[in-house]
Chains A and B, each alone.
Chain A
């Protein structure tokens, strides 16, 4: 396809400036030819090759059209129109303002600086949220890389270029019986290297590569040009980022290396879990993975290389199903002298909810009123109070078996308890809220009964209201009552 001249009219669109000349496609600014105003800025993407050239990249153009039709939300550009694939292929879509992550990387490379940890966490969380929104719509991007991630000025991330993506409800035109690697060599996940398409955790791997790149300026597995080179990531540990940049905190390395685990099951089970860690660094449980600064010894790599030779990846179930099996469960504890029965019942409810969902994550939350903290008295200072309440939450959770569940504790400050809980659930992609139906702590406030109801009505997810009750036999004999 030769370059379109500015001013050309095509199917009711007037071609404007060429914004980007890529290996696969040209991107033009466009407007409606009849000059009626568009609700948002538009671009037209025109592939360099046409179907008659017999080029295979036309297939990825078809895939992008197929997938963009199905996606919605703020994390994807809106599709406006598509040309006939055989005669005049093009896609007209929303022109989203912002910088691509590649531009951010280029800028810091030019200035020879590295992004601040807090900025990287913010960008990483935005990308993870965008990926999660895609996974909820049964789509895996499968080609996440800095050039395909756009950071909107308002802070959210928009994902671009769905040419290699895969929607579980549609036939996968890029699949074939031979199972070849489809993706970009630097960011491709190990399971994609062996031809498995459709696992949302492949996108988590790619986000890990981008975070590594942001932090160190280097690619964890280089940019291999051969299939053998790409297979390295099936067994090889990348150099710990902290070895390349010593001001990186352990928690950040923990997060990045967890994304880069060769086995998908060892990575974050969903992008919402990843966003959660990036937004709550103090809650990240640092393991050896986060601490190490030495490269993995040769002998360990050799053993893993042997294991990887026979490594077998299973195709995954529907992305939305898979991520629903590892929900983020949030429990709201009253902070004000809650009764034993309340605490006991909430614990039972949480135990039951987590028990059938290995890998689910637990967030234990309480809301205190802001005027409880006082900057002058030291035992009422914000940090002291928060520490006290966090300890209370941890004590509550102690009897639970949380070995299979990542757990975090949060003290929120707000005068509006229900609103604070709902906002927290929205902000963290919580799948289920467990809270007391009417607890003493909440009763002491003004709009008592309405708090659980308000949460139930306004919450974006399932809400379980728990009635306080102790087990029958315990009530019979008060002296047996253990401290709960």
Chain B
């Protein structure tokens, strides 16, 4: 089965649609949305509707930290010295219907499918949103997930970059920087943990959207970078009156 793994969409409908179309064209059979559907971008309600439809078609949809962040904030609630993040969280709160907010609130934190454990942040304490960003933190997440012997792969988002960690000859995990479009053999007798990057807010200097595809039969993982109309997405952020910083971030990918 070919799984399209998409995370950190962040209300970026342009990027999300581009990645979904790309995944379909590349033979994806099941979608997995690994959290942070909303926040930062201009289309929270549309992105949530898309994900609700995908869920009905059999997709996996997980909860990220931004799904929690938007629950408690509202423009009507006075908030002391609001950061840029909380400003957009407040705006997002008001864009979503109570039903949508509730739907986001009760999304699961993890899902186990075949030999994969899917999680937004780290498998060792999913609700605490630890960053998986180096050999040490990835090993914490992988070890926790692999306590279940069925699990050989941990896929997550949260850190907005694409990385793969694996066991080499030594005891520690080894970090590997993937090249886009290359199918990497990831045999299941080894243990693997990957961060698949962000669909809606890349931060590595390249504005192209990120996602990954895992083929559980061929045991291959492919990281993708998808070009989309990031200028239109940035324009929409400005038109919505959201902080300029988030518009520029989409334009520069930084």
Contact = CB atoms under 8 A, between A and B. Distances in A.
Contacts of A51: 189
A171 B176 contact: yes
Contact of B168 (A65, A69, A169, A173): A173
Given A170-B184, A176-B168, 14 more contacts: A51-B189, A66-B185, A69-B185, A169-B178, A170-B185, A171-B164, A171-B184, A172-B168, A172-B176, A173-B168, A174-B168, A174-B169, A175-B168, A175-B169
Interface in B151-193: 164, 166, 168-170, 172, 174, 176, 178-179, 182, 184-185, 187, 189-190
A59 interface: yes
Contact of A169 (B166, B172, B182, B187): B182
Contacts of A309: none
Interface string A139-173: 00000000000000000000000000000111111
Nearest to A65: B185
Given A171-B184, A176-B174, A86 B168 contact: no
A247 interface: no
A85 B168 contact: no
A55 interface: no
Contacts of A180: 169
B189 A171 contact: no
A86 B166 CA distance: 18
Interface of B: 164, 166, 168-170, 172, 174, 176, 178-179, 182, 184-185, 187, 189-190
A163 B190 CA distance: 17
A65 B187 CA distance: 11
B185 A56 contact: no
Contacts of A85: 187, 189
Contacts of A177: 168, 170, 172, 174
B157 to A, nearest CB: 20
A175 B166 CA distance: 11
Nearest to B176: A171
A177 B185 CA distance: 21
A176 B168 CA distance: 6
Given A86-B189, A171-B176, A178 B184 contact: no
A30 B208 CA distance: 47
B172 to A, nearest CB: 5
A62 interface: yes
A51 B187 CA distance: 13
Contact of A59 (B164, B169, B178): B169
B169 A56 contact: yes
Contacts of A176: 168-170, 172, 174
Contact of B187 (A62, A174, A175): A62
Interface in A57-97: 59, 62, 65-66, 69, 85-86
The 3 closest A-B pairs by CB, nearest first: A176-B170, A176-B169, A171-B176
Contacts of A174: 168-169
A30 to B, nearest CB: 23
Contacts of A56: 169
Nearest to B184: A170
A196 B190 CA distance: 23
Given A169-B179, A169-B182, A171-B176, A178 B187 contact: no
11 contacts: A51-B189, A69-B185, A85-B189, A170-B182, A170-B184, A171-B176, A171-B184, A173-B190, A175-B169, A175-B174, A178-B170
Contacts of B185: 65-66, 69, 170
A177 B178 CA distance: 19
A174 B187 CA distance: 15
B220 to A, nearest CB: 9
Interface in A243-259: none
Nearest to A177: B170
A288 to B, nearest CB: 41
A180 B176 CA distance: 19
Contacts of B164: 171
A372 B186 CA distance: 62
A145 to B, nearest CB: 21
A209 B24 CA distance: 51
Interface in A167-193: 168-178, 180
A65 B218 CA distance: 13
Which of A85, A168, A170 has the largest count of B CB atoms less than 10 A from its CB?
A170
A178 B174 CA distance: 11
A176 B171 CA distance: 8
Contacts of A168: 179
Contacts of B190: 173
Contact of A173 (B169, B178, B179): B169
Interface string A35-64: 000000000000000010000100100100
A360 to B, nearest CB: 25
Contacts of B176: 171-172
Nearest to B169: A176
B162 to A, nearest CB: 13
A250 to B, nearest CB: 43
A180 B169 CA distance: 10
A153 B174 CA distance: 42
A56 B164 CA distance: 23
Contacts of B168: 171-177
Contacts of A173: 166, 168-169, 190
A69 B184 CA distance: 10
B190 to A, nearest CB: 8
Contacts of A169: 178-179, 182, 184
A65 B185 CA distance: 10
Nearest to A138: B179
Which of A62, A169, A180 has the largest count of B CB atoms less than 10 A from its CB?
A169
A170 B219 CA distance: 14
Contacts of B166: 171, 173
Contacts of A175: 168-169, 174
Contacts of B184: 169-171
A174 B169 CA distance: 6
A266 to B, nearest CB: 29
Nearest to A58: B189
A170 B185 CA distance: 8
Contact of A171 (B170, B172, B174): B174
A321 to B, nearest CB: 11
Which of B164, B169, B170, B184 has the largest count of A CB atoms less than 10 A from its CB?
B169
A86 B187 CA distance: 10
B163 to A, nearest CB: 11
